Amino acid sequence: MSHADLRSAVRPPPDAAMADIADYVVDYRIDSQEAYDTARHMLLDSLACAALAMDHPECVRHLGPLVPGAVLAGGARVPFTAHELDPVQAAYNIGVQIRWLDFNDTWLAAEWGHPSDNLGSILAVADYLGRKAQAGGGQAMTVRDVLGHAIKAHEIQGCYALKNSFNRVGLDHVILVRLASTAVATAMFGGGKEQIITAISQSWIDNGVLRTYRHAPNTGPRKSWAAGDACRRAVTHALNAVKGEVGYPSALSAPTWGFQDVAFKGQPFEFERSFGSYVMENILFKISYPAEFHAQTAVECAMRLHEQIGRRIEAEGVDAIESIVIQTQEAAMRIIDKTGPLANYADRDHCIQYMVAVPLLLGRLRADDYGDAVAADPRIDALRERMRVEEDPRFTRDYFDPDRRYIGNSVQVFFKDGTQSEKIAVDYPVGHRRRRGEGIPLLMAKFEAAVAAKLPKRQSDELLALVADPERLLAQPVTRLMDGLRC
């Protein structure tokens, strides 16, 4: 490109990647019943995660107005609290709740992430707009409408993740939460294609947050509120766009100054497929264990070995073990293969060795097993020291295969007396599309137990009766659902 071209003030047409999102959000009609059924379960699973997070004071202290007293009567509600907030701060609150325990849905490809994080923005905006409409004699959008927005947010985030690795350039995956939530929230506020492109351009110009807080030696709790922060920023961009803020049509492609040159090594984005409803249909649910998803099947393997291995450890001690071999996918090796001291909860729930050691030893893996009390058991680190993590190329191939999307792991224990355990391998966890029949009853049990523990019995019973009737649930105003979650 010539120097004269770089100096030109002529505004180009919007980058195609931004225009394609706007076209999809405004024009695409979702006709997949499977997508709506999965989205309904995704919503319930996310609300279960939010309820479970309320047991953790570190989460609760993030909730409420940013500045004490900055509440909004008639604003968006935050589930399992009494907070009423402006939609920007409510998006942060709900996003924090859903993401806190690393127990919500997951998408794995060149980039990974948790598309249900977008519910932080979607539920906050839907409840705020619904209450505002009802106060003026209008109608709120239905739960089905909300699920339609969620399907599109999942699709945007997930399709970008299929071929574009933001983690390889040091950026955190919540950049895609901000992108998807910005596009959908702008449409929810009444923005058309031009406003959606404007808002998206602002999102890209934000660049992305660094993954520093997800990796040793800096792993910390920001990873539990980063998605909420992305939701908050998305709603801000949406509000500004519908108020008339101008956009930046070549925010991605501008030489020198655009996102691709600044942050993506000069490369345009790649796409495996057009936007539709593929991501929601294939989403992965975390049902059994609050564990980083690349390790879910490793935990299943360890649980199957527990009876044999735990018994031998009790009888002979950890010193009876020579080595433990974990075979996994390349992505897991990059992000959760971790040795040395683990400083905190956030360090432990992103360490595949820790997530295998606990079930081998104790026959369980719960959220509180990442806390200091359980981690103080010296046998856990002794087991970690005996572990070797290596890539199985088959697991990596199946991980990227669009018709499989497996997340395989295997675990085998070798003893000093020359004996060894069976090698246990699991290709895909209970939350995978191929195990929906097995997984959905467990997901519903997760939801029922979580809300029953947080709401008064009468309120909980009413909510459970509502969700037991899918058609009635989908027809309800979203404000009715949010009413039922209020404490």
pTM confidence score: 0.90
Q: Is the pLDDT of residue 1 over 60?
A: no
pLDDT of 216 reads 85
Report the pLDDT averaged over residues 335-361: 95
The architecture CATH gives domain 293-429 = 2-Layer Sandwich (3.30)
3-state SS track over the chain: CCHHHHHCCCCCCCCHHHHHHHHHHHHCCCCCHHHHHHHHHHHHHHHHHHHHHCCCHHHHCCCCCCCCCCCCCCCEECCCCCCEECHHHHHHHHHHHHHCCCCCCEEECCCEECHHHHHHHHHHHHHHHHHHHHHCCCCCCEHHHHHHHHHHHHHHHHHHHHHCCCHHHCECCHHHHHHHHHHHHHHHCCCCHHHHHHHHHHHHHCCCCEHHHHCCCCCCCHHHHHHHHHHHHHHHHHHHHHCCCCCCCCCCCCCCCCHHHHHCCCCCCCCCCCCCCHHHHHCECCCCCCCCHHHHHHHHHHHHHHHHHHHHHHHHCHHHEEEEEEEECHHHHHHCCCCCCCCCHHHHCCCHHHHHHHHHHHCCCCHHHHCHHHHCCHHHHHHHHCEEEEECHHHHHHHHCCCCCCCCEEEEEEECCCCECCCEEECCCCCCHHHHHHHHHHHHHHHHHHHHCCCCHHHHHHHHHHHCCHHHHHHCEHHHHHHHCCC
Q: Is the pLDDT of residue 82 over 70?
A: yes
pLDDT of 9 reads 84
Mean residue pLDDT of the chain comes to 96
Confidence of residue 432 (pLDDT cuts 50, 70, 90): very high
pLDDT of 383 reads 98
Report the pLDDT averaged over residues 112-120: 97
Question: What percent of the chain has pLDDT above 70?
Answer: 99
Fold match between domain 3-282 and domain 293-429: no
Report the pLDDT averaged over residues 361-368: 95
Q: Is the pLDDT of residue 177 over 80?
A: yes
pLDDT of 402 reads 86
pLDDT of 6 reads 62
Task: Name the residue ranges covered by the structural domains of the chain.
Answer: 3-282, 293-429
pLDDT of 2 reads 42
Q: Tens digits of per-residue pLDDT, 32-51?
A: 999 999 999 999 999 999 99
Report the pLDDT averaged over residues 253-268: 97
Report the pLDDT averaged over residues 293-318: 95
Q: Is the pLDDT of residue 228 over 60?
A: yes
Report the pLDDT averaged over residues 248-264: 98
Q: Is the pLDDT of residue 7 over 80?
A: no
CATH 3.30.390.10 fits 3-282, yes or no: no
